[in-house]
Amino acid sequence: MLRGFVRMLGTVMILVGLGLVALFFVGPPGGTAGSIPTGAKTSPAEAESPADGTLYLTVPEVGIQDLEIHNSSSEEDLDDSAIHLPETGFPWQPGANTYLAGHRMGFFGTDSFLVFFRLNELGPGDEIILEDEAGDRYVYRVTESLVVGPEDTQVLDPVPGKSIVSLQTCTLPDYADRLVVRGELLA
């Protein structure tokens, strides 16, 4: 009887372990970027994009190099890589808040996998570089990190007198809030 119980307990522990490994590679249900916020105060005319609005992100401090950023708010594009929220500005627009969102864990086999996992390691002065399709580079320096709730859409708004980039992912371990790292465009 005891031997049967130990064998059953061992089987349960193996199954739980396999489930945790799968959760690490696949991510929890519903993704891990926090909810995609909406409600920016940038008008659609102000957020006009070039033909496709594709940007490329480099953040040397956390190992991100030329990551393609989709100009989209679709979950499919977020699950593939990271996204630029179309209702927010672009780097070439003075006074814009270029708002990018990416998964913390993401999906194995895609560019979203662990893309913003180390975002919390960025600190003041670290570089965030965006490049557009024409090859124009926009270099930002990290100025602050914020943790906000999913209902806090004011982080999408431009900051008066500044051109900024905002990188968003979820908080760990419960994905309940959003981590937003901001950088200011260098002149």
Per-residue tokens: 170: 């979820």
Per-residue model confidence (pLDDT) at position 20: 55
Average pLDDT over residues 11-33: 56
Per-residue model confidence (pLDDT) at position 183: 98
Per-residue model confidence (pLDDT) at position 19: 58
Answer yes or no: is pLDDT of 157 > 80.
Answer: yes
Residues listed for the chain: 187
Each as own residue / partner, the long-range contacts of residues 117-120 (CB below 8 Å, 24 or more positions apart, any chain) are: 117/169, 118/62, 118/63, 119/62, 119/167, 119/169, 119/179, 119/181, 120/145, 120/179
Average pLDDT over residues 108-120: 94
Q: Could you give the 3-state DSSP secondary structure of residue 153?
A: coil
C-alpha distances in Å from residue 123, one per residue of 25, 37, 60, 67, 181? 27, 23, 12, 20, 9
Give the span between the Cα atoms of 128 and 138, in whole angstroms: 8
Per-residue tokens: 158: 């431009």
Q: Which pLDDT tens digit goes with each residue over 31-90?
A: 444 456 655 554 433 445 455 678 999 999 999 999 999 999 999 999 999 999 999 999
